[in-house]
Structure 1
Amino acid sequence: MKNEFRNTTPLSGVCAWHFPAQCERMGIFSIRTENFVTAPTAIEADHQDVRKGAMWQVPSSWRTVQVTHSGTGEVADVQVRIAGIGHRFDTRPNTMAWEVPETYWTWKWMYAPAPCASSGFLTGNNAYALFFWLVPEGAGVCSRQPGQNITHFWLSTFEFAYALKTPNPLTMSPGQYTGSLTYSMGPGMDFDFGDVVIPADNQLTLNFTLNVEHILKVNLPPGGNRVELLPEGGWQAWLNRGRRPSRLLRDQTFTIAASGRFKMNLECGLVIGNTCGLRNGEGDQVPLQVAVTLPFGLNDQYDQVVSKRPLRLDGSGTELIQAKHYVNQRPGTLHFEVDKDDMGGMLEKPGSTYSGMVTVVWDSEV
């Protein structure tokens, strides 16, 4: 019932090595890279301008990325936001410079400043530390000021967590979709580290590849391909009491697994109008009405349930069936019937056998 993509991007950083269960609960994914560096800079103690020290403002609001099908050009939207930020930072003379009276330096990095939120992750020693903060949606600047002058401060790793909102894959054509989103990095940019901490790279590009593989599988029970039409209640009412049957019919069940779009139509050994026909040995013909009932979750293009929907040679009325959620081996029914109006000639020739070939087509190429 979860109509979304599964993220197979390899994790690194906190979600891979430190608190994977917490990340899964929050629906975030982390990436850590060492291909990130800033030049050592000095930071004054108790500075008032947050841009003159250790600060972060990240693109924590949702952004839309358009992904395009490689074959058809069909497009879909992915949404992404940055949900966490972390680094390894080095401090000279030592990390004790971050202390303020009655507060040990680790407190300032274990517990995030508002509007960021604590993740509970911090490790390090008197020369460096690794930290990670969570960033709520739409958050502003998060910063820290040292209690002593720092002669050298620099970042040597970069780690971010991201959250995704993916399109409904059940509405998408099978195949591969690609797109990319580029964030700018630097003072006043998407990733803003202030005016003194300047990253060597000024761009971060996220590349998206979405693979859609649909399932469409139909199974008939053993012997289900041979359909015998009978009157309601069988032939005994006519044989014993001469009661003419009003129609001939048979319902044939099947099971279906479907996750995407498909269409249905008929192919006939004998064509009569827009449906199939039956013929006896003398060449007499009658039309055969065929209809389908699909399980809950498979609706037509107008979002209506499919119940005893006529099947036609041209596919009209069943030209688009859409899975509202993944349907896994649920029962459906094919309905076969000869109408009362078409039975008159058949009943005039008792003992005659009518037969024909009907192919019901489930077609995923919509």
Structure 2
Amino acid sequence: MNGLDGIKRVFTISAVCALLSGLLAPMVVVADVMEISAEFVPDPSNPGFNSFKNTTPPSGFCAIQPYFCNLRKIFSIQSNITAESKDPILANHALRQGPMFQIPAQWRDLEVFHEDGIESAIVQFRVVSIGGNYLLSPSVRELIGRPEVTFSKAHGLLWGGTETNYTSGQWYYAPRPCTAAINVNYYESTWGSFYWNVPEGQTCGKTAAFDISSFAYSKLDFMYELVTPSPLKMKAGIYTGRVRYGVGPMMDLDLGDVMVPSDSELVFNFTLKVDHIFKVEIPPGGNTVVLLPQGGWQSWLNQGRKPTRLFRDQTFNIWTSTPFKMSLECEHYAANSTCALQDDKNNQVPVDVSVSLPSGLSDAERQSVSRRRLRVDGVGTENFEPALYVDRKPGTLHFEVSKGAVEAMLARDSRHYSGDITVIWDSEV
């Protein structure tokens, strides 16, 4: 190989790389990104309400029709997506050569991730309606050649209405299989409003009865439904996720073949905020527990009747909207993952600790919690779940020294046993 051959090969490779670079240049995707937010904060005045509240600022349809949206539990958001016709719309055109819509009305599952990068949850989302204003050029009266009629009638005639029933052409009457989303409509010289419900997998469009030189949509509104997971099963914090839809012919949002959208992608960003309440309150004096036999010590002192057990029930109040677990820590540890009481001669007796939880709280198998034993290792009490926001409900801690341990205590000279037992309620499940 001489030097000239080497130079030729270098230039040849460079030319090929340049060609490939041109062929692989990425297509520019212009996306309209919209933010949807919801939050859960426990409400003591309504503990049975355990759902997210949509905190997305209303825009578009629901900003002017809040009663309707609240009734149907739907929300709307106004996008920045516009569209213009690339060619005139001709009278009696085919479906795809005029105004038509197919929208992403099927439910879609999307995963939202906790800020810790580990926890996640599933949100369901779908678009149910589309609306906004369509724009005409020239004016509607010029298009139909009827300067004397009202704007309302002119728009009806433009879209196939008759002299005696011009309202049938108005966009208030959505073409089947679509239906009107609201009971009002607005018309002016060069524009008209519409709000259509579009069924899943269906397409609907209007047919012009006259040629239209220029046709466009202003910012499109989207009405959507949102199904959020149970916040009671979610860790406190911020969850985020997104769903993407393609915009254009034969895409998720299909406006037909003649309309050119301003954006090629529609993106919904989701932010879910979970604020939990978790609080445990021991009544004053409840941190000191004195274990006694049934009826106190008088039966033994006066009648010589030995006690069969020593016990004490201690109430507590709990507020929680989140799962939690329970366990023990001990000053003196005994066998079987429990705590002990000890006298001044280092003699020990085990003390059993159990818990009863109020209604609305259950274990992972949906079983109520009554005298569930607490252990140092936490086995058996790893997950207690609220079925609703529990607002200052009473529970009980049960402390007990069993019969065999009491007999051992009475056989000794010591009369005083003590020890610190720490009961742990932990919301970091």
Under a length normalisation based on structure 2, what TM-score does the superposition of the two structures give?
0.79
- In 2, are the aligned partners of 1:265 and 1:362 still within 8 Å (CA)? yes
- In 1, are the aligned partners of 2:160 and 2:207 still within 8 Å (CA)? no
- In 1, are the aligned partners of 2:86 and 2:258 still within 8 Å (CA)? no
Per-residue deviation at 1:338? 0.6
Query: What's the counterpart of residue 88 of structure 1?
Result: 133
The answer to which of 111-120 and 333-342 deviates more is 111-120
**Secondary structure of 1:352's partner?**
coil
Distance 1:88 1:275 in 2: 71
- In 1, are the aligned partners of 2:311 and 2:399 still within 8 Å (CA)? yes
Distance 2:184 2:409 in 1: 82
- In 2, are the aligned partners of 1:38 and 1:154 still within 8 Å (CA)? yes
- In 2, are the aligned partners of 1:99 and 1:105 still within 8 Å (CA)? no
**Secondary structure of 1:42's partner?**
coil
Query: What's the counterpart of residue 288 of structure 1?
Result: 351
Query: What's the counterpart of residue 104 of structure 2?
Result: 59
Distance 2:114 2:138 in 1: 54
Query: What's the counterpart of residue 73 of structure 1?
Result: 118
- In 2, are the aligned partners of 1:98 and 1:105 still within 8 Å (CA)? no
Distance 2:67 2:418 in 1: 62
**Secondary structure of 1:345's partner?**
helix
Distance 1:114 1:336 in 2: 70
Per-residue deviation at 1:23? 0.8
User: Which residue among 409, 417, 427 is the counterpart of 1:346?
Assistant: 409
User: Does 1:100 pair with 2:145?
Assistant: no
User: Which residue among 298, 302, 309 is the counterpart of 1:247?
Assistant: 309
Q: Deviation digits for residues 263-291 of structure 1, max 9, x if unmatched?
A: 11111122222212222344332111100
Query: What's the counterpart of residue 271 of structure 1?
Result: 333
- In 2, are the aligned partners of 1:108 and 1:144 still within 8 Å (CA)? no
Query: What's the counterpart of residue 52 of structure 2?
Result: 5
**Amino acid of the structure 2 residue aligned with 1:228:** V
- In 1, are the aligned partners of 2:276 and 2:320 still within 8 Å (CA)? yes
Distance 2:184 2:421 in 1: 66
User: Does 1:23 pair with 2:69?
Assistant: yes
Distance 1:336 1:117 in 2: 65
Distance 1:22 1:233 in 2: 65
- In 2, are the aligned partners of 1:294 and 1:333 still within 8 Å (CA)? yes
**Amino acid of the structure 2 residue aligned with 1:318:** T
Per-residue deviation at 1:253? 1.0
User: Does 1:329 pair with 2:392?
Assistant: yes
Per-residue deviation at 1:92? 2.9
Distance 1:35 1:58 in 2: 14
- In 1, are the aligned partners of 2:338 and 2:376 still within 8 Å (CA)? yes
Gaps of 5+ in 2: 1-47, 141-153
Distance 2:291 2:207 in 1: 85
The answer to which of 343-352 and 296-305 deviates more is 343-352
Distance 1:348 1:210 in 2: 62
User: Does 1:317 pair with 2:374?
Assistant: no
**Amino acid of the structure 2 residue aligned with 1:254:** F
Structure with more strand by fraction: 1
Among all aligned residue pairs of Structure 1 and Structure 2, give the percentage whose two residues are the same amino acid: 46
Distance 2:348 2:80 in 1: 78
User: Which residue among 225, 229, 244 is the counterpart of 1:167?
Assistant: 229
**Amino acid of the structure 2 residue aligned with 1:356:** G
When residues 93 and 104 of structure 1 are mapped into structure 2, their CA distance, relative to the original with a 3 A threshold, is: farther
Per-residue deviation at 1:3? 4.0
Query: What's the counterpart of residue 44 of structure 1?
Result: 90
**Amino acid of the structure 2 residue aligned with 1:291:** S
Distance 2:161 2:115 in 1: 56
Q: Deviation digits for residues 87-146 of structure 1, max 9, x if unmatched?
A: 21112333422352123358622232222222224223121122212334x251121122
User: Which residue among 286, 293, 296 is the counterpart of 1:224?
Assistant: 286
Distance 1:351 1:69 in 2: 55
**Amino acid of the structure 2 residue aligned with 1:362:** W
Distance 1:199 1:86 in 2: 15
Structure with more helix by fraction: 2
When residues 196 and 281 of structure 1 are mapped into structure 2, their CA distance, relative to the original with a 3 A threshold, is: same
**Secondary structure of 2:351's partner?**
strand
Under a length normalisation based on structure 1, what TM-score does the superposition of the two structures give?
0.92
Distance 2:233 2:352 in 1: 31
Query: What's the counterpart of residue 145 of structure 2?
Result: none
The answer to which of 127-136 and 82-91 deviates more is 127-136
- In 1, are the aligned partners of 2:85 and 2:258 still within 8 Å (CA)? no
When residues 143 and 237 of structure 1 are mapped into structure 2, their CA distance, relative to the original with a 3 A threshold, is: same
- In 2, are the aligned partners of 1:299 and 1:322 still within 8 Å (CA)? yes
- In 2, are the aligned partners of 1:41 and 1:154 still within 8 Å (CA)? no
User: Which residue among 189, 194, 212 is the counterpart of 1:126?
Assistant: 189
Gaps of 5+ in 1: none
CA RMSD of aligned residues (A): 2.1
